[in-house]
Structure 1
């Protein structure tokens, strides 16, 4: 099996069943006002769930909460029946969270891919990076900086790289719209990743969510 083929769905057999996510009354206080207040939604396995929220610190706080990496003031996050933060950290991969898991823009593309492969517990040598890029017809960007690659391509690569880690069954993509992309540049690809049985949660701003008619995906009452 070629782990680097973005159209290879054979690894889906390992992930059927998935890990549903339930968020209930999530509240995270900031220095003055709440960053997140009473956020509730459910994210089924094998699907993409769009969650509207304010960009910046609120979005980062939600991503970290889903991954069990921030203290909650009230409410909770449950994944496949567990709400233990240590277990959530093992199950969730945060993707492109601003200033948390987002690659530094000035880094060379091959370096970023190598680092992400290593994080996904994959071989990360020069030949592995070439194989990954070749599968996506991106070898022409070999000498480019990360921020020189089109934003849509960057988002799709980060999703694919995160999905290589079989232990992380929940992927949280934070703010793909902050790069100025249209949802067509990442939504269908996120659905392909989810089709492997993973739970994919995408945090977007309210404008993007409205364009996607995302109100049913999350409780928007009292969103910051």
Structure 2
């Protein structure tokens, strides 16, 4: 599967998202930079087929198919869109996703699922209080349970703190499992991951960073805003 964004933008004067082009595909993890509070979510919605671009196009294997993208791409942890409520326990988040996946949603099933991940001790902890790497691991594993999901758009994992290498490692593992993974993060994370990639010694295996794009534009980032209904 290959998802391609060609010159997409959103909002009046492209304030919500400046013109952006990128590709993510099966078996690879792509890092794209999008900063400000709202741009990562706007880009995530576009890349997962859940929002129409005002300009440009989003293609699935070379053709326009927004419904197909929505079925096959999961939007994970997008601010105010798909992020779990911070006060809900980890077991509660898992139980809800198990229900959507057609599995038993009771607390015992959720605890068993977490035990299988080696994270059973987090079951009673509010998901807003767990460490970033565990959060991303849990949310990506839950997304993978959904029927037909072949791609994952991970939105602003660096907003939870921690070392970028930790969530990047999880994203890379999912690419190695055959998913198309797009990680949307800030420039600071890109800098850290790029330095890490450059420092990799020959023979260490394939570099984790496949593609790096950037949504930077000439306008100040503070001009970004969530598109209104009229803008959509």
What TM bracket, shorter-length normalisation? 0.7 to 0.9
Structure 1 pair 56/220, CA: closer, same or farther in 2 (3 Å)? closer
- Could you list the structure 1 runs, at least 4 aligned residues long, displaced by more than 4 angstroms after superposition: none
- In the TM superposition, what is the alpha-carbon distance from 1:216 to its structure 2 partner? 4.8
> For the residues of structure 1 that align with 2:177 and 2:104, how far apart are their CA atoms?
21
Contact 1:66 1:77 in 2 (8 A): yes
84, 87, 95: which one pairs with 1:114? 95
Q: Could you say which residue in structure 2 is the equivalent of 1:23?
A: 5
- In the TM superposition, what is the alpha-carbon distance from 1:116 to its structure 2 partner? 2.1
Aligned length: 205
- SS of 1:212's equivalent in the other structure is helix
Structure 1 pair 222/122, CA: closer, same or farther in 2 (3 Å)? farther
99, 115, 137: which one pairs with 1:156? 137
| Larger displacement relative to structure 2 (83-92 or 49-58) | 83-92
TM-score scaled by length of structure 2: 0.81
> For the residues of structure 1 that align with 2:215 and 2:101, how far apart are their CA atoms?
33
Contact 2:34 2:186 in 1 (8 A): yes
Contact 1:39 1:222 in 2 (8 A): no
195, 217, 223: which one pairs with 1:222? 217
> For the residues of structure 2 that align with 1:215 and 1:49, how far apart are their CA atoms?
6
> For the residues of structure 2 that align with 1:67 and 1:61, how far apart are their CA atoms?
10
Name stretches of at least 5 consecutive residues in structure 1 with no aligned partner.
1-18
The within-5 A match list for 1:89-128 is: 89-128=70-109
- In the TM superposition, what is the alpha-carbon distance from 1:74 to its structure 2 partner? 0.5
The within-5 A match list for 1:45-64 is: 45-64=26-45
TM-score scaled by length of structure 1: 0.83
Deviations 1:147-174 (A, max 9, x none): 2222211111101111122411110000
- In the TM superposition, what is the alpha-carbon distance from 1:93 to its structure 2 partner? 0.6
1:66 is the counterpart of 2:47: yes
Structure 1 pair 221/59, CA: closer, same or farther in 2 (3 Å)? closer
- SS of 1:132's equivalent in the other structure is helix
- SS of 1:25's equivalent in the other structure is strand
> For the residues of structure 1 that align with 2:113 and 2:165, how far apart are their CA atoms?
22
Q: Could you say which residue in structure 1 is the equivalent of 2:66?
A: 85
Contact 2:44 2:155 in 1 (8 A): yes
- SS of 2:59's equivalent in the other structure is strand
> For the residues of structure 2 that align with 1:200 and 1:152, how far apart are their CA atoms?
16
Measured on the aligned residues, the alpha-carbon RMSD in Å equals 2.1
Structure 1 pair 74/161, CA: closer, same or farther in 2 (3 Å)? same
1:37 is the counterpart of 2:18: yes
Name stretches of at least 5 consecutive residues in structure 2 with no aligned partner.
195-208, 222-232
